[in-house]
Amino acid sequence: MTLLHLFDLDGTLMYGSAAPVEISRQLGLSEEIAELERAFAARQLEPHQFSLAAQQLWTELTPDHVRAAFDGAPWLSGIREVWQEIRERGDYCAVISLSPSFFVELLLEWGAHAAHGSVFPEVPFTRLVDVAGILTPEGKVTVADQLCARFGVTRADCVAYGDSSTDVALFDAVPLSVAVNARPYLVERATHVYEGRDLREAYQLTGVARMGVEAS
């Protein structure tokens, strides 16, 4: 059976942080983005409102800032190794995130078959983000269905990895899930639960991994 592994980014592949946080850090706007993150977590902002507000903070953003944010982010260990094994098995791996597409798509360099984020204009910005392209938690399921069609699998063949309320809909839609450093309400919905900083260990919980993880 061919599997499709679906990874969230913020708080899942990235330990204790998120793409908007890392981008804002490069611009000296950590306090400002923290306020937006708190409002979003409290459901005072919808995804499109958060994205518009974040873009307004990032008026000075350049591709160099984006690359520095990506390179300096607190990624889990073993991401590329896990995705390499998934490829070698003949399975598929994809990232689905509410974060900006210009950041999420950089993960294609690490071996993801697909990477979908909220669609933002090219950096530096010359126009406002189109709210129609901003992903929602429910939109993650829509993207997952599109990827299933692309790779010739069904929801029954999917494994979801996530950490927060934005992953609830996807966890409810697929049969196998791994809560990675997750909030309690997602842990309750997960097939497996992982706390740590090595994606190889989370991947092993699915029962399909061949790789071993060296003790650190």
Is 212 a member of any domain?
no
Is 138 a member of any domain?
yes
Is 65 a member of any domain?
no
Is 150 a member of any domain?
yes
Ranges of H-type helices in the chain:
19-26, 30-41, 47-57, 63-72, 79-89, 101-104, 137-151, 168-173, 184-187, 199-204
Q: Based on the structure, what is the number of domains in the chain? A: 1
Domain of residue 99 covers 4-16+76-204
Reported as a single tens digit per residue, the pLDDT across 119-176 is: 999 999 999 999 999 999 999 999 999 999 999 999 999 999 999 999 999 999 999 9
The C-alpha angle 210, 213, 216, rounded to 5 degrees, equals 180
pLDDT value at 2 more than 50: yes
Reported as a single tens digit per residue, the pLDDT across 21-68 is: 999 999 999 999 999 999 999 999 999 999 999 999 999 999 999 999
Q: Could you tell me the CATH number of the domain that includes residue 162?
A: 3.40.50.1000
